[in-house]
Structure 1
């Protein structure tokens, strides 16, 4: 039986490229989401396993047997959902991998990490764009460092990796570095293929275009989100314009406005760096990850 590959995150680490340009286009892979259909049984499994919906172990096994297991006789199956990595059931990091293991005893996990400060900034920018977050970066950090979203726990990559490795086995958890994807996308893809056991297909065109898949917010976008009337006008304009015109306007905006790049105050940044150093030194010492090359805090 072929492998079941589950890419669990993190958000903002090349996930859009993997979901749209890598897994779905590889001839040896059957990609089941994301993106999902609205009534997707795969989405149902993921949301039960992560605690978003009420968990029923027998129902998850039945859905797996019906919708995933038959495909594995002929192809590697991939599922990619960045929500998985940040969900914790009742404070237990091992609960989600144990739920995955209850469906099948051979699950392979892919996790992509990113420099903690860059990840945190991207997470905040996403909240501003998708959830209309109006708090400053500093205030949002204060509210979510140990409370709220508990981003301190999210940034402890080592504990997360250890939890999955202890349940599924060290050889079944692949950890990749987002900065390598940016620096040398072809090697990133080759390493990913080698870990999964895939033939390395030529992804150069997809890699060259991957930066445009998920463009970041500009200073104009941020200005609009903080003014209700402008935000309302922007929503109306998006509804009435054709896709071609919207694409043209979008390109003009990204060409002429600076990227929105929030900054933390020095005291908050010091708190983040100290936490990151502890985590990253564990990753280097116990997993031999080449984080020095990509300027992680150590």
Structure 2
């Protein structure tokens, strides 16, 4: 049985693929994420593996819990092999990058994946012009509590590159790390720009099929699946993002918390209950979610009748130029390593 890990990247169709492809394909035994809801996993143990042990857990804790986690995964692999399915899949964009500063290193994630699932893993990586992803991640960060401007956000990503997601978007390093750990041809790469029409914002079709789904099916060896490629995370407008960033300053949550807080802590629910035997009231566990939704509703209401103004993506020209030089060089390296020709936009990066 083929074992496949879809690592994203973020803002590159991930939720739609999790909900509409991996979790629905009759030939795919999917462990999550995306089963029944955006955060749904096959079971609670798989939930804790991807929301903690492959995301933020210190090595001491991972090594202590590893034996039971390994046994659990082996049982699931056996269950998948005994089924009529052809592919075992897992999917999490948090495997590809560090959304918060407390995430473990990418290379450590690979080592843990190998220890848990074996060395015969295949990877699916969907990449995109880095500067476009950074703009999308700023919008997502504001949605999840970030209080600063885009300029402050990019400055922070660059300044704290030792712990931010900066190097996670050096596709050459990521591709090389995967092939070093799992062997040549273990990583299939797809380009975001090949699959979405930027003018209409719709999925590109080929012979009445969604091109991305058709190419993914060919890659993992399953029949094409007719999908309704629905978008599950409603994007906030530029006006709403601007208003939400202002509201975040007075009602801090998630990314706006102090250093010893945690963003999206509701995602640790299964770990707290099952592993730590720590049961918190729903009002505490989902405090940030409730606050976030309330602020989004307030931002939408405040901006409902406002004139549309484009979000300002200005940032320090010095920082922007440094990042441009670095990532364009990384993209050249990626082309040489992978043999994949990148669009010209990857060598003309601008915010």
TM-score (norm. length: structure 1)? 0.80
> 2:319 and 2:235 mapped to 1: Cα distance?
23
Match of 1:225 among 245, 269, 277: 245
* Aligned residue among 53, 57, 78 for 1:48: 53
Distance change >3 Å, CA 27–CA 286, structure 1 → 2: same
Q: Tell which deviates more after alignment, 71-80 or 113-122.
A: 71-80
CA apart distance, 1:168: 0.8
3-state SS of paired residue (1:145): helix
Distance (whole Å) between structure 1 residues aligned to residue 310 and residue 3 of structure 2 = 38
Could you say which residue in structure 1 is the equivalent of 2:274? Answer: none
Equivalent residue for 1:153, pick from 167, 174, 181: 167
Q: TM-score, normalised by structure 2?
A: 0.69
The partner residue of 1:215 within 213, 218, 234 is 234
**Is the counterpart of residue 122 in structure 1 residue 122 in structure 2?**
no
Runs of 5+ consecutive residues of structure 2 not aligned to the other structure: 34-38, 198-203, 253-289
In the TM superposition, what whole-angstrom CA distance separates every residue of 1:221-275 from its partner, at most 9, and x where no partner exists?
A: 221430369979xx78967xxxxxx8xx89x959984664633343332222111
- Asked if 1:68 is matched to 2:68, the reply is no
5+ residue gaps, structure 1: 240-245
Q: Aligned with 1:226: secondary structure?
A: helix
The residue that corresponds to 2:346 in the other structure is: 296
1:194 to 218, 230, 233: 218
| Structure-1 separation of matches of 2:42 and 2:191 | 31
Secondary structure of the equivalent of 1:120? Answer: helix
Q: Does structure 2 retain, via aligned residues, the 8 Å contact 1:3–1:72?
A: no
State which of 49, 52, 59 in structure 1 corresponds to 2:68: 59
The 2-side partners of 1:217 and 1:264 are apart by 21
Farther-moved stretch of structure 1 (43-52 vs 20-29): 43-52
- Report deviation, 1:127: 0.9
Q: Distance in 1 between matches of 2:292 and 2:154?
A: 32
User: Is residue 270 from structure 1 mapped to residue 269 from structure 2 by the alignment?
Assistant: no
Does the 8 Å CA contact 1:15/1:82 hold for their aligned counterparts? yes
1:52 Cα deviation from its structure 2 partner = 3.0
Shift of the 62–134 alpha-carbon distance from structure 1 to 2, 3 Å rule, reads same
Counterpart CA distance in 2 for 1:89 and 1:129 is 19
Q: Distance in 2 between matches of 1:255 and 1:15?
A: 31
Residue 29 (structure 1) aligned with residue 28 (structure 2): yes
- RMSD between aligned alpha carbons? 3.3
Q: Deviations over 1:57-93 (max 9, x none)?
A: 3222112022333113322221111111125999864
TM-superposed CA distance for 1:48, in Å, is 1.6
- Residue 194 of structure 2 is aligned to residue 180 of structure 1: yes
Q: Is the 8 A contact 2:5 2:91 kept in 1?
A: yes
TM-aligned CA distance change 1:275 to 1:197, over 3 Å: same
**Aligned with 1:214: secondary structure?**
coil
Q: 1:92 to 1:253 in 2, by over 3 A?
A: same
Task: Rate the CA distance shift 1:278–1:3 in 2: closer, same or farther, 3 A.
Answer: same
The alignment of Structure 1 onto Structure 2 pairs a total of residues equal to: 279
How much has 1:151 moved relative to structure 2?
Answer: 3.3
C-alpha distance in 2 between matches for 1:195 and 1:237: 38
CA contact (8 A) 1:14 1:181 kept: no
Contact 1:217 1:260 in 2 (8 A): no
